[in-house]
Chains A and B, each alone.
Chain A
Amino acid sequence: MCNVYLVLAYGLLWGIFTVYAWVIHGRQRRLEKDLEELKKALEQR
């Protein structure tokens, strides 16, 4: 029989890390895009 508290603890832990990794990846992608746009704008001058 599976213990509901155990499942919740491991599930939430997995969820927290997945969300955090996804957030940090999103922030990196946004900054990389900004950086690329800035470099392009400077090159065009």
Chain B
Amino acid sequence: MKKIFPPTLHLLVTLAWLMVATYLIFLYAPQEATMGEVQRIFYIHVSSAWTALLAYFLVFLGSIGYLWKRRDSTDDFAHAAAEVGFVFCTCVLVTGPLWAKPVWGIWWTWDARLTLTFVLWLLFVAYLMLRSYVIKPGRAAVLAAVVGIIGFVDVPIDYMAIRWWRTQHPQPVIAGGEGSGLDPRMWVALLVTWGAFLCLFAYLLRQYLRLAALRREVAQLRRFRQTN
């Protein structure tokens, strides 16, 4: 992977993709009729949310993998997905209220979608806190994996919340059935933005995995120095 697609090239591709997405959001996508300019938050808000949900799914897969095979690499993968996912989930919780205030007149309300997204953010926090506070490495990995698996229950419910319940959060405009939908140019802007976010997610994930590998190497050398 490192030889085929080196990190520097990955970073350059990500930055170029983000620039294209910014162009599409501000200059290509049409202005929404009722909300006006502020609706352009939609592209980063939805892309961050989808990426955060995907990140937790990867935490779930990594956690299952670790409990099954007990390989450090799967634990590192789950840990990396949790940390980067936490950053994306924070972006969802920051951009959401900034869109809600001018449109709804309030920053926040405890409806099903918003509450479940906040719970997802708390799950990321719980996972990362467990990693920091449990000193014994093997034990921390097992406990975090359990949180990673049990917490995944939140992800499908969060995704379906606006379909199952009437919420303050808008009903789905994507795959939401009759009456829902997006202007084709908005679709293009959204998909390109999500693609750019996925590329950024993958880049940060790689950086975190490099960090985890370094951490293990340092710990191994320290143990070696102590025992010899």
Contact = CB atoms under 8 A, between A and B. Distances in A.
A24 B94 CA distance: 21
Contact of A9 (B99, B217, B224): B99
B225 A42 contact: yes
Nearest to B90: A16
- Interface footprint category on A: 20 to 34
Contact of B98 (A9, A28, A39, A42): A9
Nearest to B36: A3
A9 B92 CA distance: 10
B207 interface: yes
Query: Per DSSP, are chain B's interface residues mostly helix, strand or loop, or mixed?
Result: helix
Given A9-B94, A16-B94, A17-B87, 17 more contacts: A3-B37, A5-B101, A6-B37, A9-B41, A9-B95, A12-B95, A13-B95, A17-B91, A21-B207, A27-B211, A28-B210, A31-B211, A31-B214, A31-B215, A34-B218, A35-B214, A38-B225
Given A17-B87, A39-B221, A5 B41 contact: yes
Given A5-B98, A42-B224, A35 B217 contact: yes
B200 interface: yes
B102 interface: yes
B95 A20 contact: no
B218 A13 contact: no
Contact of A5 (B38, B91, B211, B215): B38
A35 B211 CA distance: 12
A21 B217 CA distance: 22
Contacts of A5: 38, 41, 98-99, 101-102
B23 to A, nearest CB: 13
Interface residues of B, number: 31
A5 B39 CA distance: 10
Contact of B204 (A6, A20, A35, A42): A20
Given A5-B41, A10-B44, A24-B204, A41 B217 contact: no
Nearest to A8: B98
21 contacts: A3-B38, A6-B40, A9-B44, A9-B94, A9-B95, A9-B99, A10-B41, A12-B98, A16-B87, A16-B91, A17-B87, A20-B204, A24-B204, A24-B207, A25-B207, A28-B211, A31-B218, A35-B214, A38-B222, A38-B225, A42-B225
A24 B208 CA distance: 7
A35 B221 contact: yes
A10 to B, nearest CB: 7
Contact of A17 (B95, B98, B200): B200
